[in-house]
Amino acid sequence: MKWTLSQLQKYRSKDLLIDEMVQMDEIKKLDPSIRAVSPMSITGRVDIDSAKVTFHLKIEGHLILPCSRTLVDVNFPINVETTETFLIKGLNYETDEEVHQVKGDVIDLIPVIHEILLLEVPMQVFCEDSSEEGAPQSGHDWEVIQEQDKKEKIDPRLAGLAHFFDRNDPSSDS
């Protein structure tokens, strides 16, 4: 997904359409919470003029993320439409949108797509099927307990106090 400026200028009066499947495995290194990345379908068109190159893109695919409760894999769909503008000659172009400067003679969309995908990762994601048990339920000197079990269980350090009022105290007889 790289183009030189001279390649893009050939399409100045024509339509340049994009329809590619791109492997984005590199974002797993940038965000360790991403367990897997499907090939991303990138479609769109490119508008080219003398001052800027504008990409109108649609990115589709999915990420595999850990469930925030159980740590099982969750298939998180990605469906993003974005417009990315690259300024050609470092001109001061006034706009409300964020623009990218062209470095050298090449426009590379891969870092921009990485950034878009990383921004799509939610803070928390939950699995729909709660029957799967993903997180460990016990370990060395610990276990997950239910609230009901905790109420029924008596602390062994306080077990002797349970019979405190059952005794007849001879000093209280009058």
- Segments making up each domain of the chain, as ranges: 2-120
Residue 104 has what DSSP assignment? T
Q: State residue 86's pLDDT score.
A: 85
Could you give the CA distance from residue 135 to residue 152 in angstroms, rounded to a whole number? Answer: 25
User: Which positions ≥6 away from 147 have C-beta within 8 Å?
Assistant: none
Q: What six digits make up the tokens of 155?
A: 């602390």
The neighbour count for residue 40, using CB atoms within 10 Å, is 21
Beta bridge mates, 103: 106
Cα distances (Å, whole numbers) of residue 141 to 69, 144, 154 = 21, 11, 18
Q: State residue 169's pLDDT score.
A: 59
Could you give the CA distance from residue 70 to residue 134 in angstroms, rounded to a whole number? Answer: 5
User: Which positions ≥6 away from 19 have C-beta within 8 Å?
Assistant: 42, 43
pLDDT along the chain (174 residues), means of 10: 81 84 90 91 89 89 89 91 83 66 83 91 81 66 72 74 70 55
